[in-house]
């Protein structure tokens, strides 16, 4: 049995939820909060979530990209996240990294909004926005006429893209400069696996100023 430790409004948790929902993979969900934090941090002192526990195989997997590769290897379903072709697989991993980079960089902008006066970092925020715009521009070029981030099929890169772009575009707006990203995000928003992760978390949006 699989158990995912995460938080319903965490963008990296959405990335893995999307992969689980794509294939209707059964799992239990543990919300990382004040009640479960001690247990979570004992399991993974790095404190980064989500993490996945596979009790049948008595193993713990951390890092969202590794979790999704793990699901693809040990719990495969109709949606495959890593293509068989080596070169296409490398492209998927490369764009997965780009979208995770957007995700992490965007969170600097969000976190700054909730810092107390006097502890904000305007230079760091401007630099983060510059990096996100640079990433938008390479993603815009990459998308071209594609429906998905890499090749013709949905992959792990799209699992990374959906939450990263959903949150990033609310905090670093596209400003009508990236029409392919806007259209791609609409397609991702309409994907049932992602729509489900977002809808389920809506009651908690008030907890996160960037949502």
Ligand X SMILES: N[C@@H](CCC(=O)N[C@@H](CS)C(=O)NCC(=O)O)C(=O)O
Binding-site size for ligand X (CB under 6 A) equals 9
Within residues 83-102, the interface with ligand X by CB under 6 A covers 100
* Cβ distance to ligand X smaller for residue 63 or 200: 63
Tokens of 2: 């699989």
Q: How far is the CB of 96 from ligand X (least distance, A)?
A: 9
Q: How far is the CB of 69 from ligand X (least distance, A)?
A: 12
The three-state secondary structure class of 57 is coil
- Interface residue with ligand X among 2, 8, 12, 157 (CB under 6 A) is 12
146 vs 58: CA distance, rounded Å: 39
The three-state secondary structure class of 184 is helix
Q: What is the dihedral of CA 64, 112, 101, 138, to 10 degrees?
A: 140
Q: Which residue, chain included where needed, has tokens 């600097």?
A: 108
* Cβ distance to ligand X smaller for residue 48 or 55: 48
Contact of 52 with 60, CB cutoff 8 Å: yes
Under rule CB under 6 A, residue 64 binds ligand X: yes
Contact of 55 with 75, CB cutoff 8 Å: no
Contact flags string 99-118 toward ligand X, x per CB under 6 A = -x------------------
Segment lying near ligand X (by CB under 6 A), choices 6-14, 21-29, 125-133, 170-178 = 6-14
- Interface residue with ligand X among 63, 112, 140, 200 (CB under 6 A) is 63
- Cα angle 11-16-21, degrees, rounded to a multiple of 5: 115
Give the footprint of ligand X on this chain (CB under 6 A): 10-12, 47-49, 63-64, 100
């Amino acid at each position: 049995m699989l158990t995912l430790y995460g938080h319903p409004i965490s963008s990296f948790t959405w990335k893995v939820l999307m992969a689980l929902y794509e294939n209707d993979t059964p799992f239990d969900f543990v919300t990382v909060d004040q009640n479960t934090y001690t247990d979570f941090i004992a399991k993974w002192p790095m404190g980064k979530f989500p993490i996945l526990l596979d009790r049948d195989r008595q193993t713990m997997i951390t890092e969202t990209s590794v979790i999704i590769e793990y699901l693809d290897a040990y719990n495969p379903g109709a949606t495959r996240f890593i293509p068989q072709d080596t070169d296409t697989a490398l492209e998927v991993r490369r764009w997965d990294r780009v979208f995770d980079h957007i995700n992490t960089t965007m969170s600097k902008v969000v976190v700054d909004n909730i810092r107390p006066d006097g502890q904000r970092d305007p230079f760091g925020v401007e630099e983060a926005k510059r990096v996100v715009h640079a990433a938008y521009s390479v993603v815009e070029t990459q998308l071209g006429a594609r429906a998905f981030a890499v090749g013709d099929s949905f992959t792990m890169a799209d699992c990374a893209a959906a939450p990263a772009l959903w949150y990033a575009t609310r905090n670093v707006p596209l400003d009508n400069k990236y029409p392919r990203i806007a259209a791609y995000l609409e397609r991702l928003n309409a994907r049932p696996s992602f729509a489900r992760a977002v809808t389920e978390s809506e009651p908690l949006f008030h907890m996160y100023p960037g949502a």
